A and B are shown apart, each in its own frame.
Chain A
């Protein structure tokens, strides 16, 4: 058997599944967003769904909200993750237990984190109770709205909680494989600590930070259950809005839901482009 046949045979099952399910799902979504569905007699594709989506204020509010959630969460998580990696890269007493605790929430599903944030930050949550204990508030309504709020603070807190270890573990591995020699050279040539970090270490770890951040951005933009649990009713995050449109009793809203799904897909395609551009490490072979 030639290598070509072998490669083809090895790849066919996996590629068929991914092409059929993933790209098939995207493609059907695209067709339906154009109002094209021969099975139910829709044979004339049009752009009506896109017109009505792009004309509705609700879509722009939702898009801006989701962009704000993704952008803010990614920037805060990446910054704190670099800080955490700097703290954890040296040896210290109890390092293995600290590393374990640092990675613990990587395995905890986002939904559990979202409920935890709800129980911590809601107006009758743990922090509100502490505020009452210290006499800062007397009624629950006096505690600032940090969940179901228009600025999506609860959602962002959840993502920051979950993504610090995600980016942090990648950056930490990156720093440990680089070692500290480059910084030592910079220090011996007279750079101060900040300069050694800013001009030597940061450029070296930046590609890793960026590719992890791209994954986080795409995820936080498109995830459903976290804004569904912690978000305000209006405006809702874009994935929540798309889900609501799709499950609306009015079936005519489905193409609009599909159009929103396509918007999310296009944004992730842009993210994949950046990911490939900044990911140095490829599969060897």
Chain B
């Protein structure tokens, strides 16, 4: 029994949806405009001149933005691959088995998704300092596992809870080796989960700030650190260009995964970004 929408209620609906979407897009607009602006002083509503200077600078070999981009891609990709290798087995254990103390294991894995990075990273810093992992790329990758790994485990636990182990048993009884069974039976059915979980884990690592700042000590200069320093030094045009580069992977991933994106499991990863 849903009554027909009246003209008044449907125009109210239209206006509020338009306001909502405008608000959600709005903060990205000045960033995009700034990246093409030159001499955009108060009180000009739009820039006096348009220019590609900021983009030329950001994409030049000397500015260090590209270097920082490759470094960030390397760190996030490595953290993602490690999370997949370590997270998939744990997801299988949580998704396919019932065992004593399972809720405590779940709690251990859930905790890092809720506790803020600043609460743990200071203690990690003093340990990493004594074993020489501060100011290093491996140190930063390791510390990125704290937010990415739990997410991968939780996604894979969901995937494995819908996985039927009988297929594996049948393959084995027909003479397939454990490796062949994994490659031909298990992997194809969990691959979509690995891809979606991996893309989100990548984005979680991609957006880390305080963990990189503390453990990298300003030496491991990922894109967000570079973006922060340009933003606070008042170079709005270059900040705009770096900002646009920085959000690109997320938007591409959203386009790729849009149909998988519904409900809690998908949004859980984005929430930490």
Contact = CB atoms under 8 A, between A and B. Distances in A.
A245 to B, nearest CB: 9
B220 interface: no
A156 to B, nearest CB: 14
Interface string B13-50: 10011001101111111110010000000111100000
A14 B246 CA distance: 29
A68 interface: no
A103 to B, nearest CB: 6
B209 A224 contact: yes
B61 to A, nearest CB: 24
Contacts of B273: 106-110
A11 B258 contact: no
Contact of A28 (B2, B107, B127, B271): B127
Interface in B217-242: 224, 227-228, 231-232, 236, 239
A76 interface: no
A164 B108 CA distance: 28
A269 B203 CA distance: 25
B195 to A, nearest CB: 16
B174 interface: no
Contacts of B121: 25
Interface string A19-38: 10111111111111000010
Contacts of A164: 20, 24
Contacts, number: 326
Interface string B191-228: 00000000000010011011001100000000010011
Contacts of A117: 27
Interface string B84-118: 01110110111111110011011111111111111
Given A107-B270, A111-B224, A115-B243, A18 B115 contact: no
A87 B20 contact: yes
Interface stretch (B52-60, B63-71, B142-150, B179-187): B142-150
B273 to A, nearest CB: 5
A206 to B, nearest CB: 15
B175 interface: no
Interface string A156-177: 0010010011100110011011
Interface residues of A, number: 113
Nearest to B249: A107
A118 interface: yes
Given A107-B203, A116-B28, A133-B45, A285 B97 contact: yes
Nearest to A88: B17
B interface, size bucket:
35 or more
B89 A106 contact: no
A229 B272 CA distance: 18
Nearest to A7: B93
A201 interface: no
A242 B122 contact: yes
Top 7 closest pairs, chain A to chain B, by CB: A222-B116, A116-B27, A107-B250, A29-B123, A14-B90, A173-B263, A132-B43
17 contacts: A6-B97, A18-B109, A25-B120, A39-B130, A107-B203, A107-B270, A109-B206, A109-B224, A115-B27, A115-B31, A116-B26, A130-B45, A132-B42, A169-B267, A173-B263, A222-B118, A223-B210
Interface of A: 3-4, 6-7, 9-11, 13-15, 17-19, 21-32, 37, 39, 83-84, 87-88, 92, 98, 100-113, 115-120, 124-126, 128-130, 132-133, 140, 158, 161, 164-166, 169-170, 173-174, 176-177, 180, 184, 187-188, 208, 212, 214-216, 218-219, 221-225, 228-229, 239, 242-243, 246, 254, 257-258, 261-262, 264-265, 268-269, 271-272, 275-276, 281-285
Interface of B: 1-2, 13, 16-17, 20-21, 23-31, 34, 42-45, 85-87, 89-90, 92-99, 102-103, 105-127, 130, 142-143, 145-146, 149-150, 153-154, 157-158, 160-161, 203, 206-207, 209-210, 213-214, 224, 227-228, 231-232, 236, 239, 243, 246-247, 250-251, 253-254, 258, 261-264, 266-267, 270-273
